[in-house]
């Protein structure tokens, strides 16, 4: 047993929660003294909301405003709301959030809640409600995807989520085990979580730098059920770990994060790919996804579970059928090592290589944040109301890098970096 | 025991809560099918939030968005926030609410929470924070005070509030007794609460009509500690009960409501007045207020408790020292009959005649909603960032109406209508 483990083994749950809040504010968000904070969370994450609020004020926040979602109230709409109401979203609130970001606020989202909240509701209503939110949220989301502001996402264990990860355990044990897994993946069980995060972040930057030196024009993914060639955008940039937002603050947008990622070319993906983990999409679990691409577009989408929601998702707009992100994660990442299926993208995407349908990150292109939408499109960056990651990596996955001259480099074998 | 009482005596707490939500949406708010609803509430009122959300959707709401306040998070700012931060408010959120109202949303506020939440915090910080919120909230508040939209306030019992009303009872009994008092004052213990509200509303309208026929130019309040002459605004209108908002919906803005009220002339109040109930002002209890007016302005303000907060409140702006409302409530009102001091303006103002410092309601002037700010000011309507009611009525209060010709009519004797 190492000194670090000895030291942290005696930490109480409250102390670990406090450490998670500390790294979220200091390392994940990189809150600036005198900066406002807008937080979103479901009610069942309230203990973490309060610890993060405390650390935000300790680090000089002018004001922390938390938009708390009551999931029971969300369900009441499906139970009693008029059918016509589902095309409606609170544009005033999303526009307000965009105004907050424009006036200097940082953004922190707590992932938690019930991943299957809407699984019993009519997929048609869920799809319309999500589509209305996507449209209303777009102005605010653009400020985030363009990294105009510092932002981060952290996770809190919730009873409903824990039950999906540990279906055979009693509720209290499942919740405790999910918290342990979150604390471990978020490096809060180490002697100095802030220092551990700084070192991990430097490692991800080294990997991204290496990929940027190679300048591959495409990646080739091969595994059982997958034979996919993903063309990369012209002038693509690999990113990993933290980054300087346009407002000058250094943030690590996801906690945990294990990925290096870039922007595919929206017209240059060919072949088929099979998901290796379920996707929780706004309340529905989509499993066994199998998708075929032609000229960058999804031309066929099947799923063993949630196929209707999947097809609604990719019908949101034209860009919803094209890739906006490709990411590489070794199968030996700490989250993959836990052996757990988290049923949560923030974790599962950091346990496996993945792709995302929808909006591309302009920050994954050279000088991307200074380019016009037309210039971005010309380089191959995709445009959509959605951005949905799903996992394709596994211990069987081989990945090759292909240069413009046709040279093939093995990048990953059996899920590990070569 | 009447049939009505027999019928309702067997109602469970959940059933009474459901009735409160029903009258709040159908009678108080007058929600229109296809209308959005913006609700504000503290976390400890969540059970009522959910029942109101259900009734809103049953009555055709497109979307219910509840802005939930966690009072523990509010306190963390006072505990850990930088001193400079207290001049900051979430303008983006209040502007967002104003945008919601402009796009057709209705507004429901649930009063509850802890009336003494900020009583241990530095009055200077509380004052600055409140002042910042008042300024940021102004655009949204104007849409409410002008009755552009249908809105209402209802109350939910909370443990902290119940403890101030029943300080000698165990927590669970105090909470149950406060709920009983709220259900009674909100007519939810009657056989048909919706019908009872319609009848009560008609009675308030008859009283206001009578006052409007008299066209008094001033009221004279006399009691121990009070000798106050309140000049009424030119073209003032007495209102009571419900009204048609500019958007066409009929709403009763306060539940309960027992008052008839109008707009004083901002330069024509003379004399001194003593409060008869404590005022809970944004977290601080102000007690034993004694104020002297000259030419409509408060020139001296004392309080036995919370004097510093009182003086900060009236220093918000120039209009904060002048009257924006005067209201008459008989001492025999159901709320006064309960004999309880609610420590909550929504209830206590409907148990006693009262005055408000700050912003006048333009709806209490003939065609007031069509007048410019200059025209309103010329008639004597006050303008301020605040609108704070406090109680001056009692079983000892005499009130006279004085006509322009100097004729004096006795209106109230020993707190009752003559």
pLDDT at B180 over 50: yes
Whose tokens are 């900020």? That residue is B118
- Determine what percent of chain A is predicted with pLDDT higher than 70: 98
Decide if A90 and B81 are in contact by the 8 Å CB cutoff: no
- B33, B61, B70 member nearest A66 (Cβ): B70
A181: CB partners within 8 A, 6+ apart? A165, A338, A340, A342, A347
Q: H-helix or E-strand containing A17?
A: helix A13-23
Q: What whole-number percentage of chain B has pLDDT above 70?
A: 98
As a whole number, mean pLDDT of residues B173-196 equals 93
User: Which residue did the predictor score with more confidence, B339 or A125?
Assistant: A125
- CB-based contact B92 A85, cutoff 8 Å: no
A378-396: average pLDDT? 94
- Residue B1, pLDDT > 50, answer no
Q: What is the three-class DSSP state of A203?
A: helix
Residue B111 predicted with pLDDT over 90: yes
B97–A57 C-beta distance less than 8 A: no
- Over the stretch B210-264, which tens digit does the pLDDT of each residue have? 999 999 999 999 999 999 999 999 999 999 999 999 999 999 999 999 999 999 9
Nearest to B70 among A46, A57, A77 (CB): A46
Q: Which of residues 31-60 of A touch B (CB under 8 A)?
A: 33-34, 36, 43, 46, 49-50, 53-54, 57-58, 60
Task: Give the strand pairing for A218-223 and A226-232.
Answer: antiparallel
Residue B8, pLDDT > 70, answer no
Distance CA(B181)–CA(A361), nearest Å, equals: 56
* Cα–Cα separations (whole angstroms), residue B22 to A366, B19, B29, B239: 57, 5, 10, 24
Taking the C-alpha atoms of residue A180 and residue A182, their distance in angstroms, rounded to an integer, is 5
CATH dotted code for A3-185: 3.40.1830.10
Residue B4: per-residue pLDDT:
45
- pTM here is 0.85
Phi, psi of B44 (to 5 degrees): -75, 0
On whether any CB of chain B is under 8 Å from the CB of A105, the answer is yes
Do A314 and A298 touch, CB atoms closer than 8 A? Answer: yes
Shortest distance, CA A399 to any CA of chain B (angstroms): 46
The pLDDT score that the predictor gives to residue A346 is 86
Q: State the pLDDT at residue B9.
A: 67
State the DSSP H helix or E strand holding residue B47, giving kind and residue range, or none if neither: helix B46-58
Distances (CA, A) of B226 to A392, B26, B281, B314, B367: 78, 40, 22, 19, 33
Q: Which of B71, B76, B100 to mutate to test the interface with A (most CBs of A within 10 A)?
A: B76
Distance CA(B399)–CA(B403), nearest Å, equals: 13
Range of weakest confidence among A1-15, A95-109, A160-174, B392-406: A1-15
- Cβ of residue A103 closer than 8 Å to a chain B Cβ: yes
pLDDT band at residue B2 using 50, 70 and 90 as cut-offs? very low
- Mean pLDDT, chain B, rounded, equals 93
pLDDT for the residue numbered A10: 81
Question: In A186-285, which ranges are continuous DSSP H helix?
Answer: 193-214
Alpha-carbon gap, residue B306 to B280, rounded angstroms: 10
pLDDT, position B6: 44
Interface contact flag, A62 B72, Cβ < 8 Å:
no
- pLDDT of the residue at B53: 98
CA distance A323 to chain B (A): 32
> Looking at residue A378, what is its pLDDT?
96
pLDDT in tens, A47-92: 999 999 999 999 999 999 999 999 999 999 999 999 999 999 999 9
Q: Where are the domains of chain B?
A: 3-185, 215-241+258-417
Which residue of A34, A58, A61, A62 to mutate against B (max B Cβ within 10 Å)? A62
- Note the pLDDT tens digit of each residue in B82-105: 999 999 999 999 999 999 999 999
| Residue B7: predicted pLDDT | 54
Side by side, which strands form the sheet with B64-69? B64-69, B37-42, B106-111, B151-155
In sequence order, what are the residues at sequence separation of 6 or more whose Cβ sits closer than 8 angstroms to the Cβ of residue B375?
none
Of A66, A76, A84, the CB nearest to B54: A76
Name the percent of chain B lying above pLDDT 90: 84
CA B251 to chain centre: 15
d(CA A288, CA A279): 9
Facing residue for B49 by CB, picked from A53, A70, A100 = A70
A68 interfaces chain B, CB cutoff of 8 Å: yes
Selected for mutation to probe chain B from A73, A77, A136 (highest B CB count within 10 Å) is A73
Q: Distances from the Cα of A50 to the Cαs of A13, A110, A148, B77, in angstroms?
A: 14, 12, 26, 11
Q: Where are the beta strands (DSSP E) in B367-407?
A: 387-391, 398-402
**Distance separating alpha carbons of residues B74 and A65, to the nearest angstrom:** 9
Top pLDDT among A147 and A296 is at: A296
For B23-59, the pLDDT digits (tens) are: 999 999 999 999 999 999 999 999 999 999 999 999 9
Q: What mean pLDDT comes out for the span A245-263?
A: 95
Whether the predicted pLDDT of B70 surpasses 50? yes
Q: Residue B357 class from Cβ within 10 Å (0-12 exposed, 13-18 middle, 19+ buried)?
A: buried
Residue-wise over A372-406: b if at least 16 C-beta within 10 A, else e?
Answer: eeeebeebbbbbbbbbbbbbbbbeebbbbbbeeee
Nearest chain A residue to B82 by CA distance is A60
Closest CA–CA distance from residue B135 to any residue of chain A (Å): 16
Buried b (16+ CB within 10 A) or exposed e, A269-304: bbbebbbbbbbbbbbbbbeebbbebeebbbeebebe
State yes or no: pLDDT of B133 exceeds 60.
yes
8 A C-beta contact, residue B369 and residue B342: no
Looking at residues A150-172, what average pLDDT do you find? Answer: 96
How crowded is residue B205: how many other Cβ atoms within 10 Å of its Cβ?
17
Per-residue pLDDT, B284: 84
> Is the pLDDT reported for residue A6 higher than 80?
no
Cα distances (Å, whole numbers) of residue B224 to A225, B112, B296, B352, B394: 89, 32, 21, 15, 10
Cβ within 8 Å, pair B93-A96: yes
Asked if A70 has any chain B CB less than 8 Å from its own CB, the reply is yes
Query: Could you give the ipTM of this predicted complex?
Result: 0.84
Q: What are phi and psi of B87, to 5 degrees?
A: -90, 10
Q: How many CB atoms lie within 10 A of CB A214?
A: 12
Contact across the interface for A43 and B68, Cβ inside 8 Å: yes
């Amino acid at each position: 047993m190492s000194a670090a483990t000895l030291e942290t083994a005696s930490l109480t749950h409250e102390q670990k929660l406090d450490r998670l809040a500390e790294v979220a504010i200091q390392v994940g968000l990189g809150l600036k003294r005198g900066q406002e904070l807008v937080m979103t969370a479901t009610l069942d994450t309230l203990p973490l909301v309060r610890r993060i609020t405390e650390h935000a004020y300790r680090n000089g926040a002018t004001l922390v405003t938390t938009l708390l979602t009551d999931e029971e109230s969300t369900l009441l709409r499906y139970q009693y709301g008029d059918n016509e109401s589902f095309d409606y979203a609170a544009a005033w609130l999303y526009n307000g959030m965009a105004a907050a970001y424009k006036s200097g606020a940082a953004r922190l989202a707590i992932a938690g809640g019930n991943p299957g909240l809407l699984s019993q509701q009519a997929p048609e209503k869920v799809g319309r409600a999500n589509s209305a939110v996507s449209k209303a949220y777009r102005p605010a989301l653009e400020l985030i995807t363009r990294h105009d502001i510092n932002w981060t996402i952290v996770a809190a264990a919730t009873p409903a989520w824990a039950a999906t990860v540990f279906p055979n355990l009693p509720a209290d044990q499942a919740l405790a085990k999910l918290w342990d897994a979150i604390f471990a993946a978020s490096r809060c069980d180490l002697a100095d979580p802030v220092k551990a995060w700084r070192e991990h972040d430097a490692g991800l930057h080294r990997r991204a730098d290496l990929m940027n030196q190679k300048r591959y024009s495409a990646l080739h993914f091969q595994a059982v059920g997958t034979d996919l060639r993903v063309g990369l955008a012209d002038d693509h940039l690999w990113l990993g770990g933290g980054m300087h937002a346009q407002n000058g603050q250094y943030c690590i947008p996801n906690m945990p994060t294990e990925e290096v990622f870039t922007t595919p070319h929206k017209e240059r993906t060919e072949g088929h790919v099979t998901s290796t983990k379920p996707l929780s999409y706004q309340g529905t679990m989509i499993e066994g996804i199998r998708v075929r691409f032609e000229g960058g577009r999804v031309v066929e989408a099947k799923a063993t579970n949630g196929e209707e929601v999947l097809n609604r998702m990719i019908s949101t707009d034209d860009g919803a059928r094209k890739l906006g992100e490709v990411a590489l994660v070794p199968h030996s990442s700490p989250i993959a090592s836990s052996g757990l299926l988290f049923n949560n993208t923030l974790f599962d995407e950091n346990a496996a290589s993945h792709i995302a349908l929808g909006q591309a990150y302009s920050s994954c292109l050279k000088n991307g944040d200074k380019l016009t939408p037309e210039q971005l499109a010309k380089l191959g960056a995709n445009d959509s109301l959605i951005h949905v990651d799903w996992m394709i990596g596994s211990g069987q996955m081989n990945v090759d890098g292909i240069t413009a001259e046709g040279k093939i480099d093995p990048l990953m074998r059996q899920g590990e970096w070569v």
